[in-house]
Copies of this chain bind each other. A is one copy, B any other.
Amino acid sequence: MSWFAWGDPAKAATLDPGLRDLVSQVLRAPLEDLPPVPEERVELPPSLLGARLREALAGVVGDGHVRTDDAVRLRHSGGKSTPDLLSRRAGSADPAPDAVLYPADHDEVQRVLEVCSAERVAVVPFGGGTSVVGGVAPLRGGFRAVVALDLRRLDRLVSVDTTSMTAVLGAGVRTPHAEAMLAEHGCTLGHLPQSYEYASVGGYAATRSSGQASSGYGRFEDMVVSLRVATPRGTLETGGPPASAAGPDLGRLMLGSEGTLGVITEVGLRMRRRPERVLDEAWSFPDFATGVEALRSLAQSDVRPTMARVLDESETFVGAAMGGREATPGCQAVLGFEGTGTEVEARAASVREAMAAAGGAPLGPDPVAHWRSNRFSAPYLRDTLLSAGILAETLETAASWTDLLPLYTAVSDALTGALEDEEGGAVVMCHVSHTYPTGASLYFTVATAAGAAPLERWSRAKRAASDAIAAHHGTITHHHAVGTDHRPWMAAEIGPLGGEVLRAVKAALDPGGVLNPGKLIPEP
């Protein structure tokens, strides 16, 4: 993965002249040419890993698996948020880890944690490195050194059970690799977030990820049937049986713990059979509110699509303009159905009736096909826009159906209010991509001129949006997790006693506090 951008440099997006005109017109800002600094000009702080410590760690993972060279440290100096990329593009990779470790298996992870806890070295677990909330920022947190614990070598299919339809995967397995291994057994996880090509299954578990087809396959946390977790105090294993009433579900305490309570090394997952049939249908609605109501009726019925999203008017318009297509008025919904042949047909027929009754007009499969072909490419466009002096970033939340549209308005207004100024305008777009019987997610995309101080500009907008979320019954994050960026809002999210519970669990599992300092858990 590129050190200053998302993904594969060969797949970088281009800005065609039409899109350039559109962007500069809508944002009232001229496009610039702002390439990243060359890699050799990026400044990294020196590694603080002393020889004795290096030897102790090499004693666990092997000498070749302790890396302190700048190229490797740079590539573990943070995640893939717009602020992360802005900093690196400008030539700063501070903080950077003092070393990057590549353990081979659970036992090596376990021993690394024991060494680091004894030696007061901070440990930042690193899966795919795709965090957009500062989750893998190598913060030293007052310790002697900080190491990134890269889990890519934990890449095995540990076991598979096609009777119980479960598989145990190493935490470092990336999704395409997982899907390839499970496909040999006719199975799939069905988990496809936008970060799909790079994110790891351990990262999904640690952040309570949600994929684009969550309506049908569920959130990642709902697929997890067991976990193996290394902690400075030893190994914790959770789950196994399909359900239990034997006390609180301790697996759920590890899911979403973002490497602050332990390092997830193996993930037991529910699989599904690979779908025989995929059927797509797009719908048009007169406005976002009507489209949202249509999705609510689906989410609360017994017959649901596998994938359902509805774009607001702004995102519908921009999507059409970028695809060079005539924009339909109102807003667009894209639905996908996966399953066996007759079952998919029956489900789609039932949903078709519901969508028409809810005021929708059918658009056929083409808009969904267009969405599918671009579903993982938005981060590439974001990077190209950054090179043209345009900030493009996303943020997300979820709320009950009753709270959803007031929250949508409040966050949209907050973003627009924070960004409409003499440096240009802002485009705020939104879609609902994850629906539940009791509510749904909102996913905002914002584009605006980077201006003279882009980090401060985005930080102001993000703060305004987050305050609006907290004030309007939203969660501070539906699927991006907390990291550093959402941590200031965690006290409001879980209350003072919730914070104490997390700190108590951390003290029990990580008494030295070396695991991912500065993330997730609010200060007392």
Which of A's residues lie within 8 Å of B, judged by CB? 161, 163-166, 207-210, 219, 221, 225, 231, 233-238, 240-250, 252-258, 261, 270, 272-273, 296, 300-303, 339-340, 343, 346-347, 350, 397-403, 434, 436-441, 473-482, 486, 490, 493-498, 500-505, 507-509, 520-521
Question: Which of B257, B475, B490 is A240 in contact with, Cβ under 8 Å?
Answer: B475
Residues of B within 8 A of A474 (CB): 241
* A165-B438 contact in complex given A343-B350, A400-B241, C-beta closer than 8 Å: yes
Cβ-neighbour of A302 out of B247, B343, B475 (below 8 A): B343
Chain B residues, Cβ within 8 Å of A495: 236-237
Q: Which residues of B contact A505 (CB under 8 A)?
A: 501, 504-505
A-B pairs with beta carbons under 8 Å apart, 21 shown: A165-B438, A207-B245, A208-B249, A241-B398, A241-B399, A242-B437, A242-B438, A243-B479, A244-B477, A245-B480, A246-B490, A246-B493, A246-B494, A247-B256, A247-B520, A252-B252, A253-B253, A346-B346, A500-B508, A500-B509, A504-B505
How far is the CB of A239 from the nearest CB of chain B, in Å?
A: 10
The chain B residue sitting closest to A479, CB to CB, is B245
Most buried by B among A165, A273, A300, A496: A165
Question: With A402-B164, A505-B505 as given contacts, are A248 and B257 in contact (CB-CB < 8 Å)?
Answer: yes
The closest CB in chain B to the CB of A349 belongs to B346
Chain B min CB distance to A121 (Å): 21
Given the interface pairs A245-B209, A247-B520, the reply to whether A235 lies near B497 with Cβ below 8 Å is yes
Besides A245-B477, A247-B482, A248-B254, 17 more A-B contacts (Cβ < 8 Å) are A164-B402, A165-B437, A233-B497, A234-B496, A234-B497, A241-B400, A241-B473, A244-B398, A244-B478, A245-B481, A247-B257, A247-B490, A249-B256, A270-B438, A500-B509, A503-B508, A504-B504
A382–chain B nearest beta-carbon distance, Å: 21
CB distance from A73 to the nearest CB of B (A): 28
Contacts of A165 in B (CB 8 A): 300, 401, 437-438
Q: Nearest 7 CB-CB pairs, A to B? A: A242-B439, A504-B508, A242-B436, A252-B252, A244-B475, A164-B400, A208-B245
Which residues of chain B are within 8 angstroms of A235 by Cβ–Cβ distance? 497
Q: Do the beta carbons of A439 and B164 come within 8 Å of each other?
A: yes
By a CB distance below 8 angstroms, the chain B residues around A252 are 248-249, 252-253
Q: Is the CB of A501 within 8 A of B250?
A: yes
* Bound: A242/B511 CA distance, A: 33
Task: Pick the contact of A166: B400, B493, B507 (CB < 8 A).
Answer: B400
B residues near A300, Cβ cutoff 8 Å: 165, 273
User: Are B497 and A436 in contact (CB-based, < 8 A)?
Assistant: no
CB distance from A355 to the nearest CB of B (A): 16
CA distance A500 to B477 in the complex (A): 29
Residues B161 and A402 in contact, CB atoms below 8 Å apart: yes
Selected from B258, B437, B496, the residue in CB contact (under 8 A) with A247 is B258
Instruction: List chain B residues, Cβ under 8 A from A500.
Output: 233, 508-509
* B238, B245, B296, B301: the one within 8 Å of A210 (CB): B245
- Whether A248 touches B502, Cβ cut-off 8 Å, given contacts A270-B438, A439-B164, is yes
Residue numbers in B under 8 Å from A241 (CB-CB): 397-400, 439, 473-475, 478
**With A242-B440, A302-B343, A343-B350 in contact, is A250–B494 under 8 Å at CB?**
yes
Distance (Å) between the CB of A166 and the closest chain B CB? Answer: 5
B477 touches A240 (CB 8 A): no
Chain B residues with Cβ under 8 A from A494's Cβ? Answer: 238, 246-247, 250
Q: Shortest Cβ distance from A490 into chain B, in angstroms?
A: 7
Question: What is the minimal beta-carbon distance from A160 to any residue of chain B, in angstroms?
Answer: 11
A227 to chain B: closest CB distance in Å?
Answer: 11
In angstroms, how far is the closest chain B Cβ from the Cβ of A341? 12
In the bound complex, what is the Cα–Cα distance between A122 and B235 (angstroms)? 33
Shortest CB-to-CB span from A411 to chain B, Å, is: 14
Q: How far is the CA of A397 from the CA of B62 in the complex (A)?
A: 44
Q: Which residue of B lies closest to A162 (CB)?
A: B402
In the assembled complex, the CB of A15 is this many whole angstroms from the nearest CB of chain B, namely: 32
Which one of A254, A339, A508 has the highest number of Cβ atoms from chain B below 10 Å of its Cβ? A508
In the complex the two chains form, what is the Cα distance from A434 to B245 in whole Å?
Answer: 13
Chain B, residue nearest A258 (CB): B247
Check B502 against A509 for contact (C-beta < 8 Å): no
Give the distance to chain B from A435, nearest Cβ to Cβ, in Å: 8
What residues of chain B lie closer than 8 Å to A440, measured between beta carbons?
A: 242
Cα–Cα, bound, A221→B249 (Å)? 10
How many angstroms between the C-alpha atoms of A221 and B248 in the bound complex?
10
Q: Is the CB of B243 within 8 A of A436?
A: yes
- The answer for the CA separation of A303 and B302 in the assembled complex, in Å, is 10
- Smallest Cβ-Cβ distance to A306: which chain B residue: B302
Instruction: Assess the B247–A501 pair: CB atoms within 8 A.
Output: no
Please determine whether B401 and A163 come into contact, CB atoms closer than 8 angstroms.
yes
Nearest B residue to A236, CB-CB = B497
